[in-house]
Copies of this chain bind each other. A is one copy, B any other.
Amino acid sequence: MKENIFELIEDKKYGLVRKEIIKLNTVDIAEFIEELQKDQAVILFRLLPKDMSVEVFSNLENDTQEAIIRAITDKEIANIVNDLYFDDMIDFIEEMPASIVKKILKHSKEDERKLINQFLNYPADSAGSLMTIEYVGLKKEMTLKQAMELIKRVGIDKETIYTCYVMDSNRKLEGIVSLRKLVISDENKTVEEIMVTNPIKVYTHDDQEEIAKVFKKYDFIALPVVDKEDRLTGIITIDDVVDVIEQENTEDFHKMAAMEPTEENYLDTSVFTLAKRRIMWLMILMVSAMFTGSIINNFQDVLEKVVILASFMPMLMGTGGNAGSQSSTLVIRGMALEQIELSDVFKVIGKELRVSMLVGSGLALLNFIRMYYLQSVDIKIATTVCLTLIVVVVIAKLVGGTLPILARSLKLDPAIMASPFITTIVDAVSLFVYFSMASYFLGIG
């Protein structure tokens, strides 16, 4: 089908193109337009019926949006600007160069321009930056029949009509009504009789991560946003929150790999920016690793006498690092999902202690069999390595399990206490334990 449309465009059979393309979902149309050359993209965009074109527009990438705005008439721009949902409009304006923004603002009314400015000033990642203003507002005195008539009239321009918001004359939020309740109730009742009072709400400056948690907990499809005086300033819908959830997860993935987090698409990010985001943590960790090197220096006499000890270092450091990363990942994720609280620290220690003894002993046993029976390593050395392994796994898992909780209690992000950091600490601990044990068991130093 797609191939077919491509051909029709090549042949300039635009009537047929239009007929084919409007059968598609607007998200798919946007995806299709992205695959075209910019001039063809503009042509195809202008073929769309007005109601579809706005939806398609809000799903396009910024550079395509820009190309279209540059190419179309002022009247067409006005159509788009008037019909875009307010949150999509703000997202769009934020990404456009000044010349385009000017062109757009020309088509908006005085009060709308004021509102746009207000919205552009909400902190990134706040409720204010996520919300939209296209909601249905009701009065509590209305009968359900009147409410329904209002919804019929204004519903087409609203981001959602499935939750309606009841306000007093000062826009103070008094309650919410789901369209479901409205539909199934007797139409002679008043809004007040069926509304939920004290609805769960968020504040304009609340962080998006907290908002995502509210949605996840209560299974809402929309949530009211109020200012400090409890006046309704906007609503947030679930589809935007799904994006927030993925964004927050991406941030955690990045932080846990010792990078400055970003929302940006990897392929669209410049080499310099990528390097900048990575080098800081690598430097910090590199300098810390030099400390580990100085431990080896302190035990140089041990190593000189039994040089074979060096060959077990990677295995001990690697296993310790991996064991610690497992624990820290479980705890970081558990805290992100609010399954592990600060007060659970002793439960975590107890669990990690027992798990690490089990796991450490298993690994040590396997290792001993391999070293002593298969590789004929000296029994003293094999014993040193295997006992070290148990101690290292236990320490690694305790460090990995508790540092994220410690970070949280210090109001730091637990995600920084992930694999790279834990590994660096555990490397130092491993080598110290290893050489201390070796000195003792082999009678050196």
Contact = CB atoms under 8 A, between A and B. Distances in A.
Interface of A: 23, 25, 27, 148, 151-152, 155-156, 161-162, 179-180, 183-184, 198, 200, 215-219, 221, 238-239, 241-243, 245-246, 249-250, 252-254, 256-259, 265-267, 271-272, 274-275, 278-279, 281-283, 285-287, 289-290, 292-294, 296-297, 300, 303-304, 307-308, 310-315, 317-319, 321-323, 325-326, 328-334, 337, 339-340, 344, 347-348, 351, 354-355, 358-359, 362-363, 366-367, 370, 419-420, 423-424, 427-428, 431
A299 to B, nearest CB: 9
Contacts of A323: 278, 282
B259 A329 contact: yes
Given A296-B311, A303-B307, 11 more contacts: A155-B180, A162-B221, A216-B242, A250-B337, A257-B330, A267-B339, A267-B348, A278-B359, A282-B363, A283-B363, A293-B314
A280 to B, nearest CB: 10
A291 B253 CA distance: 29
A221 B221 contact: yes
Contacts of A293: 311-315
Contact of A290 (B25, B215, B315): B315
B259 A239 contact: no
A57 to B, nearest CB: 15
Contact of A246 (B162, B245, B313, B329): B245
B423 A318 contact: yes
A314 B292 contact: yes
Main secondary structure of the interface of A (DSSP, over half): helix
A392 B161 CA distance: 57
Contacts of A258: 322, 325-326
A27 B332 CA distance: 25
Contact of A334 (B266, B285, B321, B427): B266
Contacts of A218: 25, 27
A294 B148 CA distance: 77
Contact of A427 (B25, B300, B318, B326): B318
B259 A326 contact: yes
B267 A347 contact: yes
Nearest to A198: B23
A184 B152 contact: yes
A355 B267 contact: no
B330 A254 contact: yes
A286 B363 contact: yes
Given A151-B183, A333-B250, A427 B285 contact: no
A176 to B, nearest CB: 11
Nearest to A197: B23
A315 B292 contact: yes
7 contacts: A274-B355, A275-B359, A278-B326, A279-B358, A282-B326, A285-B318, A286-B315
B296 A358 contact: no
